[in-house]
């Protein structure tokens, strides 16, 4: 009987550790999505609201290719950034709720940097894409998935390094790297079906 009790106690401890580990994974996943929302929103909004005057004004670079291309417009860029900021402000207003206390805390500065940085990264990707002779909508693995992450984190590290270090843990960063290409693919498929994008990637 004593051995049975020891066995049951050991089993309960193992189950408890599994549950705690699973909870930690879910919390890190939700935190990654939450912290990146101001960066995730601008790109699809910019694609949907695009059109009008291109940012490069139709000009060509020294290599004879467009600087950014017709896909990058002032309207899409500005509306995309504003959409990310609006989402971020809503997050800031909600983060005092007890139920959301486990989530990372955004600030007005971090929201702006993530929103602007996401489209800045996309813009820089387009610049280098043109330099490589790639056409608009042509696949560019890795860069297509992580341009917004690179842009958002670059600006955040430069202008709000203390927030990055104190807010984004290693597990959250890992899930950002896992989650981003998945969401990127899903949103592009939705955009393609909706007629907003010419290609589903």
What was the pLDDT predicted at 187?
Answer: 72
For residues 173-187, average pLDDT: 88
| Global confidence as pTM | 0.83
112-160 pLDDT, tens digit each: 999 999 999 999 999 999 988 887 777 788 888 899 999 999 999 999 9
pLDDT confidence tier of residue 15, bands split at 50, 70 and 90: very low
* 75 pLDDT above the threshold of 80: yes
**Is 200 within 8 Å of 50 (Cβ atoms)?**
no
What was the pLDDT predicted at 192?
Answer: 62
Question: What's the mean per-residue pLDDT of the chain?
Answer: 85
Query: In the Cβ-directed half-sphere of 33, how many Cα atoms lie within 13 Å?
Result: 9
Q: How far apart are CA 126 and CA 17, in angstroms?
A: 46
Chain centre distance of CA 129: 20
For residues 4-33, average pLDDT: 62
What was the pLDDT predicted at 20?
Answer: 45
What was the pLDDT predicted at 17?
Answer: 47
Q: Which residues pair with 73 in a beta bridge?
A: 54
Lowest-confidence region among 2-6, 91-95, 191-195 = 2-6
- Planar angle of CA 42, 44, 47, nearest 5 degrees: 105
What was the pLDDT predicted at 2?
Answer: 54
Q: How far apart are CA 157 and CA 29, in angstroms?
A: 22
Closest CA to 34 of 193, 175, 184, 194: 175
Q: How far apart are CA 109 and CA 119, in angstroms?
A: 16
What was the pLDDT predicted at 22?
Answer: 63
For residues 96-122, average pLDDT: 95
* Annotated domain spans of the chain: 35-193
What was the pLDDT predicted at 5?
Answer: 53
* Secondary structure of the chain as H, E, C letters: CHHHHHHHHHHHHHHHHHHHHHHHHHHHHHHHHHHHHHHHCHHHHHHHHCCCCECCCCCECCCCCECCCCCCEHHHHHHHHHHHHHHHHHHHHHCCCHHHCCCCCCCHHHHHHHHHHHHHHHHHHHHHHHHCCCCCCCCCCCHHHHHHHHHHHHHHHHHCHHHHHHHCCHHHHHHHHHHHHHHHHHHHHHHHHCCCCCCCC
């Amino acid at each position: 009987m004593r051995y049975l009790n020891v066995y049951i106690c050991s089993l309960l401890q193992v189950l408890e550790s599994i549950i705690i580990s699973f909870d930690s994974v879910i919390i890190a996943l939700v935190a990654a999505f939450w912290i990146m929302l101001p960066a995730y929103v601008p790109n699809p909004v910019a694609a949907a609201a695009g059109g009008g005057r291109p940012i490069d004004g139709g000009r060509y670079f020294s290599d004879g290719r467009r600087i950014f291309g017709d896909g990058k417009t002032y309207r899409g860029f500005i509306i995309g950034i504003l959409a990310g900021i609006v989402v971020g402000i809503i997050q800031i207003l909600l983060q005092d709720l007890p139920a959301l206390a486990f989530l990372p805390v955004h600030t007005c500065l971090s929201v702006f940097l993530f929103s602007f940085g996401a489209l800045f990264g996309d813009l820089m990707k387009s610049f280098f894409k043109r330099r490589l002779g790639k056409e608009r909508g042509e696949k560019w693995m890795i860069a297509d998935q992580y341009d917004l992450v690179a842009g958002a984190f670059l600006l955040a590290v430069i202008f709000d390094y203390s927030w990055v270090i104190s807010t984004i843990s290693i597990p959250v960063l890992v899930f950002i790297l896992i989650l981003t290409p998945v969401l990127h693919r899903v949103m592009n498929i939705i955009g393609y079906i909706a007629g907003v994008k010419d290609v589903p990637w």
